[in-house]
A = this chain, B = another copy of it.
């Protein structure tokens, strides 16, 4: 069972990482993945994700362990970008390999809900020259509560 958890300070290619993850789990049966990007359909010119070294990666690893314990997975990949990024750049990639589809899909859903509002990241966006800190929406908190 492979667990791969990374922070990336630079742009990453989710298609290439997902293909490599799939290739590392031959005959897995089911592969679900999610890629979050900086949206390009509004006035947001840049997004910045900051993290805190002593907590962030360790927290992501603990999240991955929880997902592996909760769902019947063959492998889990979590990659989260930090730093400043532009519309269209990838923020986060989660991929899960499993024997059956719903374990893979639910693990991705679970990991994303936790990364969104229960992981050590702080996000701000720049609109019209002004940086503004973003907090999770009410839906994000409700989504997270589904797993408790």
**Are the CB atoms of A34 and B34 closer together than 8 Å?**
no
**Are the CB atoms of B26 and A31 closer together than 8 Å?**
no
Task: Render A80-102 as a binary contact track against B, CB cut-off 8 A, 1 for contact.
Answer: 00000001100000000001111
**Are the CB atoms of A143 and B102 closer together than 8 Å?**
yes
**Are the CB atoms of B108 and A105 closer together than 8 Å?**
yes
Say if the beta carbon of A69 comes within 8 Å of chain B.
no
* Copies held by the complex: 2
Q: Looking at chain A, what size class is its interface with the partner chain?
A: 35 or more
Say if the beta carbon of A78 comes within 8 Å of chain B.
no
**Are the CB atoms of A101 and B88 closer together than 8 Å?**
no
**A49 nearest CB across to chain B (Å):** 15
When the two chains form the complex, which single residue of B22, B34, B99 contacts A32, counting CB atoms closer than 8 Å?
B34
**Are the CB atoms of A30 and B34 closer together than 8 Å?**
yes
Task: Render A9-50 as a binary contact track against B, CB cut-off 8 A, 1 for contact.
Answer: 000001100110010001111111111111111000000000
When the two chains form the complex, which single residue of B29, B35, B99 contacts A31, counting CB atoms closer than 8 Å?
B35
Between A28, A101, A104, the greatest number of chain B beta carbons within 10 A of the residue's beta carbon is seen for A101
**Are the CB atoms of A101 and B39 closer together than 8 Å?**
no
| A31→B93 CA distance, assembly (Å) | 10
Q: Apart from A29-B41, A102-B109, A105-B105, what 11 extra A-B contacts exist at CB < 8 Å?
A: A15-B15, A15-B22, A27-B39, A27-B41, A29-B36, A29-B38, A31-B37, A32-B33, A32-B108, A102-B139, A109-B109
